[in-house]
Amino acid sequence: MKYTQLGRTGLKVSRLVLGTMNFGPQTNESDSHTLMDAALDAGVNFFDTANVYGWGENKGRTEEILGTWFAQGGDRRDKVVLATKVYGNMGPDGEAWPNHDKLSAVNIRRAVDASLKRLQTDHIDLYQFHHVDRSTPIEEIWQAIDVLIQQGKILYAGSSNFAGYKIAQANEVARQRGSYGLVSEQCIYNLMERGAEMEVIPAAREYGLGVIPWSPLHGGLLGGAIRKEREGGGARSTSGRSGEALADPKVRAQVQAYEDLLDKHGLEPGEVGLAWLLTRPGVTGPISGPRTREQLDSALRAVELELSAEMLAALEEIFPGPGPSPENFAW
């Protein structure tokens, strides 16, 4: 496994992040534990979750599954850099009681204690804001975070789904307060969705945030979607967003060109999609959310895959980015 430092921190994390969003809803507790053991054995030390994972009436279930895994001992907790998130409505019916969601000081305090209990740990290494809170002053948010750091309940704060200017705003206010500020930004970023290159990633790099891409295979489109459709006997075999997206002729043409290129070189689409992200400036590591051991092994191989300059150029032709910032939106 390869490691890097998380943003401007001294924290060393694996270049593959184990995403746990499927633990509970799609992968049962026992299989989830097996996947976490395998990931840890392979050197993956960066695990990502969120308080809302489990969804619906089972919100919090994913954190509970991590907690029962940590409780098995064997230095599991000591070896893992644990990241979770706060913001979402934890009510099962979609309606939160006032002050039971978003980033008010009272909800942050309540949410971190609830997460610690579910995770069966005394601290969270990276506590991430799952979304921008347009109703809470950033000064209040930092006040709450600073208290949690002083109490030892969290070590670092990160953002998720923030605009570039919000990253700048949050860290400028942190600087004025003498707070450490955001150390990471988790955003959608992949070969097919490169909007983050315009302002989010430049802002993250300017302020020393590590970029943690989610949806690195764009909902499966970059994981061999057309090949799976063909092998499965038609479009119905490609489920969810992938199947709907492939109905767009432009998207299908792009994905087909991608798969044809990789077939020519004997490469696996999912592995190349992850490996490409590891070449991008500012990226700490993509989040891979495996449901099976086979998917985990594929993601692990991606970390060791070196893409040639010729391959990177060919990928750029198929999936052109927005260009350098600020020129990409200035003219």
**Annotated catalytic sites, by residue?**
53
Contact 245, 221 (CB under 8 A): yes
Taking the alpha carbons at both ends of the chain, their separation in whole angstroms is: 41
Residue 236 token pair: 């119905």
Q: Which stretches within 71-154 are classed as H helix?
A: 76-79, 105-119, 138-151
Provide Rg for the chain, Cα atoms. 20
Residue 295 backbone dihedrals phi, psi, to 5 degrees: -65, -40
Per the CB < 8 A criterion, the answer to whether 66 and 47 are in contact is yes
**CA 328, CA 6: separation in Å to the nearest integer?**
27
Give the three-state DSSP class for 247. coil
51, 85 Cβ separation under 8 angstroms: yes
